[in-house]
Amino acid sequence: MTVFARIAMLIALIVNGVACAPVSPWQRGVLAKPHMALDPNPIDRVMRNHNYSSREAAPAGGAGVGGGCGCY
């Protein structure tokens, strides 16, 4: 391993270690609210992906796979 790779791994470990924090039981209710989710509207995301795939006319999903006319 190069020195740069070791330093990068050390920095990544330090950043990940600092980012972790214990959550108290009374704070879990706040974190469980819908607006705190990574994707607050999963149904909208699924429908957008379906529409995009349909317009792309690709044989396998259309999201960067290739095929179709490319008009969105």
Say which residue the tokens 């909208």 belong to: 44
pLDDT category, 7, cuts 50, 70, 90?
Answer: very high
pLDDT computed for residue 13 by the predictor: 86
Amino acid at 69: C
Q: How far apart are CA 21 and CA 47, in angstroms?
A: 35
Q: For the chain, give every domain's residue range.
A: 34-63
Residue 67 has pLDDT above 80, yes or no: no
pLDDT digits (tens, 9 = 90+) for 32-59: 887 777 887 888 988 888 877 776 665 5
3-17, 30-44, 58-72: range with highest mean pLDDT: 3-17
pTM: 0.36
pLDDT category, 6, cuts 50, 70, 90?
Answer: very high
